[in-house]
Structure 1
């Protein structure tokens, strides 16, 4: 990678060195092939778990790494730079662990987190539905009381790891229809629960190695002790998880953009036209300068938001800003990288076109960038009404 790290501790430096070694040895050599074949790298996630990388921001008492988000996100970035399916998969798994870690009982944490953080269990996060994507509070999946627990009926859409996850962190309506976010609860549902089934994976323009599928619940019975948090608390849990998840997507976007920038810079030094390296021409040099500036600005914004989170400060708006800037930057930088590589960039012989296809989804997942603008705009309005704008 072309950028210099500034890490808070020597331990963090050693951790990032370990991650780069795994990424270079285990991810980079197979990313293009497995994406071409649509092969899900379950073995990689087991390796990450056994290397202590699946639970970095969570408590050591349950097998986590107890690392600050500032460090965890840089791990996500480095993995995504080599293979987005793995970097994003780590982010989604971390998101799926959040409700148990933050809202679970002591018994639930002790029973569930060690395998979730150790790589034996891979998670998925079931919030979106076909008709309630950005408007998650309008979900229709129901969890009705039944046999000292719940009977779940409904379907979730666009679920990363759908069909390959070992458990689903599910948000379902336990209140009456029309109760909005107040009637939603969070359930931990093992994938082998009778009545739980995933559809065939979606046929996507990128990230073929990361299955995205609808997950259906047909009278799936979930014991009451697998509800996470209080009944009706689920929507608040989901929103709290998404604030952190958006930082994971921002880090993924910076990783993809950095990989594209590195590819473009390397090509610009070896490709010669009119007797000179094309990187010596102002048109290319200025394009690369703008790409590098955008990547670094996005990185610093997600790190600043992560430091707020680590300090216990409100960070939701900053997470939305980071996700917005980083993913828009990734789309622009990957597009420009293909342009720098010219005809070669449009072929599958080089990774630039794959990075461009992958970047697009990051503007959509964890809340579209239009939703991020809504979050930021509403915060500006609240601040102005309270007379604290600019504080």
Structure 2
């Protein structure tokens, strides 16, 4: 049975999804996006179609419906895969229309609303037993008059990431570590003066650095059965201001306590589809505390493929072939990284350096997380090389 993956976006996430599909099934994908990006250029197994206004509801729906009715899709099952929070939102909102032509697996729109914004997600997490940091929610009206219930330093981040990503200003970051009230007031002023209208989240800063950060990806089939969980510990995070919060090195392994909590939570809330969680371990009370859930596979999901767990198979087997699988929790150690090796070795936290070197020595690592297909395509070889060299430059700039 032939299927055609229709991916939404053109970034790292799209590269990972299209590569995973090609690795597993030898199938070529197409993608729709606002514009092309270098991450998904020059790939024989992916064609990106840029569409003006694709981030508007009318264009989004019309493009997908027109494509579904075209000759190109005759006798093919169309598998729709989102690679951004915004496209996930649109799929959920237009589920009734799109489901006539496409196969996809996402939560219903009511559950999406509860999980998408961090404020609402924390209420759900609290109800179902997922720990999260002490939190204060403020808005545009009261951002000059608030009282913290915890001490500095704190984390400051937007509640509505879909709206926030559309604004721009000097010093823009996905999230801020704030040392004092003066700095916090300045950042809040910048955010609201530059057009953001949603709520902001102020959170207790959990001690420790990137070495205490963890990620879990999961897949829940259309019948609400959790089929896969895969946890990883962060060895290196992104340092460019606009990309802070993304991962550049992840260590897969046995994180059973964490993945068991995720599995139970997803079952309790009657979830479906991919889910991506960010956690930080709090040494003060020895709890893993959740920051957010993404209602899709994570941007760095290729870490799972290189560890021997091709995440896309769970979706394809479920939605295209209607095959059921037993639950799989990945536990084998593996290092995935997306920088030059010299950057990895220099900037990995001291606590993890020896383990990273051990994994490298034992070949329990991907050679480089952006190298799929580079030896079959000189343009992809150049893209991968430029990425490596750029990490040497910008880590030195931002990390010293």
Judge same fold: TM > 0.5, yes or no. Answer: no
**Larger fraction in strand:** 2
> What TM-score, normalized by structure 1, do the two folds share?
0.30
